[in-house]
Structure 1
Amino acid sequence: MTIETLRPGELGRSHLFFGVCLIATLNGFFGHALRAVEERGMAAAAMDLFGVSAILWVALAAGLALLAGDGDRRPLRREDLPIALLAGGAALFPAATASSAALALVAVWTIATSAPRAPLRRAGIIFLAITGALLWGRLMLATFSGPLLSADALFVANLIGAEQQGNTLWIGDRWSGIVVAPGCSSMQGMSLALVFWASVNQYFDVPFGWRPALYCLAALAATIAVNVLRIGAMLRWPEHLEEIHHGWGYHIAMWTTLLLVVAICLFGARRAVFRPL
């Protein structure tokens, strides 16, 4: 069987989808960046990575690195260009949802049409995980907000012995309780943990199995634990609610979650990450 290869100067699949994924992802970030600049100014927003988690920036870099370094010499498939044009056109709309949907389309296409463990497929998995944080996680939270927020409240109630009804928590006087809002859902941290786990395992080409799956579950559990502790602290010390919710408590929880997720995922993939050159 003869395998067709690229001719000199011909565009390959990975290089085509490199540009589409870059545009779609950055446009998906744009809404967060614009909001951060409007609220805090350019300098402060830049220091905060324009309101986009460091995990998402790392995932973007990992996906693009896989595409840029792909040595596969196979030419474009017949459907690649229409898919790229459709996704690229959608990504140019000034709407993060359209860009995220375009990125998901490209990711699913590259996963479905690439060989197992090929750089193009591994990059597709990373970009699909990114859409989970940008789009699907938010849609899931909007659709199932009742059960998801109630689950967070239930964890907090069992942790500190509070009373709970739905997503409402209180200790003693019900009128001094708190409501777990979508912005405090564990779903947001879980989606970012999944992105980092996918990025590490795909970039370093870790075969999927029960061990990587367990480390993924551990990273997800860590994000839930930190979020539950933070909500519990707000309920236990209501006099410091503002600081815990928006101030130092928020930053401690954010950095603790980030460090735990990074440590768990890197430890789980340590044999591949620290493989001798």
Structure 2
Amino acid sequence: MPRDPYEVLGVSRNATAEEIQKAYRKLSKKYHPDRNPGDKQAENAYKEVQEAYEILNDPQKRAAYDRYGFAGPPPGGFGGGFGNAEQVHVDPEMAEELFRRFMGGFGGFGGFGGFSNLEDLFGGPRRRTGSRTRVRATPTVEPVETEVSIPFLTAALGGTVSIQVGGRQIDVKVPPGIEEGKKLRVPAEATGSTDVLLKVHIEPHPYFRREGNDLLLDVPISIAEAILGGSVEVPTLTGERLEVKVQPGTSSGKRARIRGKGIQGGDLYLVFKVMVPPGEVDAHSRELIAEFARRNPYNPRANVPWASA
């Protein structure tokens, strides 16, 4: 026998819809398989929470459970419950909708026993009337929100990631160019329970950085390359390697743009970093550098905002 759904969600039998929904969100988040990978006890608790919420979130199912429990109504339907009631006349189309909702809502509680059609349900033949019976729509179950980490290249180029939901593995399609913080929806048909919203976190890349659809790549160059110019080989997002010229007089921080080599039509920017040889240089090299400075006087801090402060 399943546990009492009120006990599962930890709410009183007089709990409001808001209190039930709040309890469900808290427990569903606590026991979600993505937060408890491989934990069979948490997986069972998660399923129990979903089943309890399915009952208590539906006013019809909740009313049936409050009256009959899991056993369902006794054979022959509701006894005198409908027979003693005043005759109800509804619009045929609305009656069909009411019948579908009512019958479908109690599918997990043993059916109605004596009811097989609208005449049985409403106590006589259908009759058209000018007034309509209002049917309250069954509240939808809010999607479960969780987070997923996606490799940098998958986020940039598109692909799939595998997630575990309720003990089943699901491949989720990732559109190319998805950004940090965006959400992917996994429909209930795929999860077998409810919709899941995946908040995307993009894992860092070893050397590429992202600015919108543009990519940045730090490119170290030597003092000689910075002064005289040269060429360097650089990688691209797709694994292609390109030969790129370094212009003479390139300073640290200067950028070179390679059009169309970013994400979804964005650009790739090479950010040059002038590197000084580590350690002490020999005496002759120091003399050459000193001679170079005398021949090429230049103050790199002449135009910074704080130079005259």
Q: TM-score range by the shorter chain?
A: under 0.3
The structure with the greater share of residues assigned to strand is 2
Name which one, 1 or 2, has greater alpha-carbon Rg. Answer: 2
The structure with the greater share of residues assigned to helix is 1
Q: Does 1 or 2 have the higher relative contact order (CA < 8 Å, sep 6+)?
A: 1
